[in-house]
Amino acid sequence: MIDDTKFGSRDKRGDWKPFKLSSNIPFFDWPFSIKNNLKWLLGIPGYILPWTFFYGLIAIIFWVYLTPPMEVIKSFHYSWFLYLLIRNLLITIICAGGLHFFLYIKKSQGNAFKFNVKGMAKNNKNFLFNDQTKDNIFWSLVSGVPIWTAYEAFSLWAFANGYFLGLEWTMHPIYLGLTFLFLPLFREVHFYFVHRLLHIPFIYNFSHYVHHKNVNPGPWSGIAMHWFEHILYFSGTLIHFIIPAHPVHAVFQLLHAGIGPLFHGHIGFDKIQIGKLGIDTHSHAHYLHHKYFECNYADGAIPLDKMFGTFHNGSEEAKEKMVLRMQQRMKKMKTAK
């Protein structure tokens, strides 16, 4: 087991936070450093390894072995839609269920690197079935995966029929390869602006509150959202109306959106321990969003929160600003009533 006290500290309640403060990717730092950017891109851990490679590998396997031929997809039929739905349900259950089993039921690494020492809420009326995990599973599997699959089915159908701008790998290998690297960053920009929209009070009260009930999120919380939020959240794939790509990129983009939040932001742990290896989950910034609500609307790579004054890097100074902002918000809500 890895000693988490070398990487962070615990408060009186037992909650853990990393010593290392959250930061954006070095591409936006000045003066510009080629060395730092190459380390971020090619290092281990880095932008490509392990996570972008992990999602890309699954997407390629899905495309090559677990996606119907484009000749079939060209004509919509419920049978191949159901096939995609079952495939996406299985990968979600395997990933979210596996993480939940090992980290929250078996407790394979105890509370090491766990942000909030408490487990998933039970006997809590805020959640469906009075149980946080059951609530999260319901929203993820009954709403999240079907809407993800609907976007995937539409995207593949659109590529097959020429409504999306499709390119062949044999003709554009470099461009299409770079598109794999571009899409996660595009996803963050798309997520940021959708996320800000969801925090408009009447939209929040209609839909986003479902996700924010998870003040202490776990793996099943990743895509535990209201159906309206799912429609907005997975809509990024519509970019292929204007950005040329290959159908595998739509599979990758939606897979990244579907299972990415299970491993990042909502897992509840800063690192996953595999033997003596600790794999970074890059979750602290988004955990702080669930804790304080009005910070870190993006995932932390692109400095959008810095630009709009909502960045919380985990420092005590940032914490004081967030507490003050929350107090001001509560006063406005009381005044409005």
DSSP bridge pairs for 61: none
- pLDDT band for position 329 (cuts 50, 70, 90): low
Asked if residue 294 has pLDDT above 70, the reply is yes
- pLDDT band for position 36 (cuts 50, 70, 90): very high
Q: Rounded to whole angstroms, what are the CA distances from 168 to 109, 111, 123, 145, 329?
A: 45, 47, 53, 28, 51
pLDDT of residue 321: 79
pLDDT of residue 332: 64
This prediction's pTM: 0.95
DSSP bridge pairs for 278: 273
Overall number of domains in the chain: 1
Q: At how many degrees (to 10) do helices 247-263 and 78-100 cross?
A: 30
User: Distance between alpha carbon 223 and the CA centroid of its chain, in Å?
Assistant: 8
Asked if residue 334 has pLDDT above 70, the reply is no
- pLDDT band for position 19 (cuts 50, 70, 90): very high
pLDDT of residue 262: 97
pLDDT of residue 318: 85
- pLDDT band for position 94 (cuts 50, 70, 90): very high
Range(s) of the domain holding residue 68: 4-336
* Top-confidence residue, 157 or 318: 157
State the average pLDDT over residues 231-241. 97
Residue 244 has φ and ψ, to the nearest 5°, of -65, 145
